[in-house]
Amino acid sequence: MAEATPAGTVTGPAALHWSTCPAGSDAPRGTYCSTIKVPLDHTKPKGRQINLTLSIAGALDAPRTLVVNPGGPGQSGIGTAKLVWSSLPEDVGAQYNVVSFDPRGVGASTPVSCGDTKKLIKHPAVPYTPATEAQEQARRTVAGKIAEQCQANSKDLLPYITTANAARDMDRIRTAFHQDKLDYLGYSYGTKLGATYATLFPSHTGRMILDSVVDPTVTTYASQYEQDPALQHRAEQFFAWVAKKDSTYHLGTSAAKVSAAWNTVRKQLDAHPAGGRAGSAELDDLLASVMYLDIQWGDVAKAVSDYRRGDARDLLGATDQLAFGGVDPAQLAYNCVDDAWPRDWATLHKETAAAAPKSPLFAWLNTWYSAPCAFWKAPTAPPVKIGAAKVPPILLLQAKDDPATPLVGAQHMRQVLAGSRLVVAGGGNHGQYLFDNNPCMDKHGSHYLLTGHLPTADTTCPATPAP
């Protein structure tokens, strides 16, 4: 599929000029970017303006424009356009150019900052599951300091870093391309963004795919308690997969034995951190990171297996990549402002402690990940109740055992978006269309983008074979 080189200006209500992408962005070579202005506060359209950086792949004169969001919230998107467009079947790519963007607060689009958070987190980190009150207090202190630094560095931006405002920004993208309707593909958090857009702008909603669907009926705070058991279930599937390959990894011949071996390694790392910097928290981070895609399972199993044999190099290399990046300020900004969070720590402690017996590997990890929201100073925004009678039918794609966006969320989204269709694939990989090598799911997505026709009823697809 040959790509036309973007050059010059797209005419319309807001002229766009395409050139090289900002230095330091994650845009791949050959990607072109443009910047538009959007109001910081959409209730004051002529007030302070902020930058929104877009990227494009495909022909500028393609009949349709597909806007894509990769998730997060707070994930940079300007590298996504080329990735998606180059993955589309040729007939679909001929009909669309693909536009992605760094949402407000992110990367090249007037970013929020929390200052240097790396200095707040020492490694090995305090274990996620607190064994003592002192351990819990240490993590509470860090969470509070992160919230303070975010407020100090981005006080003027934080109240406006919301999904509703990001959806309003997308309508500015639509008008910039002189499109009557917005065609959209959103993954993970991008499903919340897309559904919010469809609720706010139903008459301008075109063909929309929501892939790996966020639950629209619960708050961001409550959603983590949906994730906890789903992550634990996925970990148990991982342990069962490792057990089937015991001749390779030597971690046990059953899921229970692998789980026991894993917990033994966690205790060993707490007693004697690998390399002086990788304890149980770092191993927990590593496990959580590979729950999203089973293609990474072998690397983690090998790292732990090698560690048990006395070789910690792979384990350290993998944990170092995850452990030393600091916090994601944009993700916190969206999570903490989109919904109201409990401001008393006793509530978080009580609810996390109640979740932990069924999700021992993830309940406290999930709570600490967003714990700064309990200390956030910026006011929360009135939530948008997703779903309205005028929202057109939408295609929902979901993996049955997705740990990050559990199936119940897709089922609830199907209920609030009347007339939509839900396609559920086996397996648990997060992100189905184009990126799971699932021909059945890809067929449904591509057919819809080409024709605008949804399946006649909800349906299922087989799982992609495990690695």
CA-based angle 40:43:46, to the nearest 5?
65
- Residue 157's CB is within 10 A of a number of other CB atoms, namely 22
Task: Please tell me which residue in 188, 212, 223, 370 is annotated as part of the active site.
Answer: 188
Q: Pick the catalytic residue: 228, 338, 430, 442?
A: 430
109 closest CA partner among 201, 173, 59, 191: 173
DSSP label of 106: B
% helix / strand / coil in the chain, to the nearest 5?
45, 15, 40
Spatial distance between the Cα atoms of 373 and 311, rounded to a whole number of angstroms: 38
Alpha helices by DSSP H, 386-461: 407-416, 439-451
d(CA 149, CA 126): 21
Whether 328 is catalytic is no
Four-point Cα dihedral 26, 200, 210, 351, nearest 10: 90
Per-residue burial over 408-438, b if 16 or more Cβ lie within 10 Å, else e, is: ebbbbbbebbeebbbbbbebbbbbbbbbbeb
Identify the active-site residue in 169, 402, 436, 442.
Answer: 402
**Which residue do the tokens 């401001």 mark?**
343
Alpha-carbon gap, residue 416 to 217, rounded angstroms: 9
Question: 188 an active-site residue?
Answer: yes
Give dist(CA 80, CA 184) in Å, integer: 13
Residues annotated catalytic, as ranges:
188, 402, 430
